Structure 1
Amino acid sequence: MLYRTLQSFSKYVNKMVPEVVFVLGAPGAGKGTQCTYISKEYGFVHLSAGDLLREERQRPGSEYGEMIEEKIRNGQIVPVEVTCSLLHKAMQKSGKSRFLIDGFPRNKDNLEGWERTMSDKTKLLFVLFFECSQSMCTERCLGRGAAGSGRSDDNLDSLKKRFNTYLNDTMPIIQHYEAQGLVRKIDAEKCPDEVFEKVKEAFDEIGLKTIVC
């Protein structure tokens, strides 16, 4: 009787392990837009590592605020302990079990930090990788900045630094997960609706169903 009870409890706990999709791509590849679509269609909670860091930067009394601002302005990556802590808190606060983690992991340190602190607390479903040319991404980001995005890094100087970081640090992470068969590549240069049709194929492939309203 006790064995069956423990077995049932084990199955319940396993079901409750949060499921994660990492969403990666260059600045301006459309990650945020597609995450909004996915959240609406499949019920995932969208967690943007960048947004969480920006919120923490603006939070009165934050011990990390000044450091985060300096890193973001210079196109550098914030220490993984800070990012993982903010992501974990947001996941717990949501009370949900499926998450899109947008813009993370962005380098080897991020990857190792996640595997060290979060891999046993979550299940990675796959990595959604939005491919987009640097010229297209730059145009989108500058347009976003001109429209008043409020982001201190939507300028040409910061963008050059961010692209260098992306090519040198993030692409090896894509290659790491690709070797494990976990990457789903999406052509992000088309219009958002066309891009989302390809995104849906990636989710349908692993048997995830759309939300029934």
Structure 2
Amino acid sequence: EFTTIIVEKGTPGFKQVSMHGKMMWRASDTAELYFDDCRVPEENLLGKIGEGSHIMLHTLDGGRLSIAAMGLGCAQGAFEAALQYGNERKQFGKPIVKFQVNAFKLADMATKIELARNLLYKACWLKDAGKPYGKEAAMSKLYCSEIAKQVADEAVQIHGGYGLMKDYDVERFYRDQRLLQIGEGTSEIQRLVISRYIGC
């Protein structure tokens, strides 16, 4: 049985310690939270006693949409960077996007991004309409985060050696996408959630 409460910054016994050295999302403030004989007033209660699990699971569904949106944005950004680079970089007298291997990679990337966008938009529409959206949130989070990984990887490949250099945005997209398969529930957890929704 869980209960959710708000612990305000500055509460005696509550300490946050910044974490440094992350490979991704370096601009985000990540911290470890410590509670040592920390007491909070009763008015800091969120919901009712024992409703914590329900509140946390409901919050996770919304968070999954946020992670899905980040995945979609990462994939879109990596795709656009790869397309631009592919049009600018020339080999054998023509842009490398004119080579079928790269053109087909970009076509697959664009298709996956469009599918991810539609899946995410459906989940957001359900949420906005006040309808159940837990399954669609898990599907969106799973698909968008994994598409971000695939697209970022292909974008680095199209850039060749330059894709590994910090001078090019695809290097950051490649690093940043990794958290998306972990935060708000791993890809494995999303598959578990989806499998339960579909009756497995």
Instruction: Tell me the TM-score normalized by structure 1.
Output: 0.29
Give the strand-richer structure, 1 or 2. 1
Q: Name the one with the larger helix percent.
A: 2
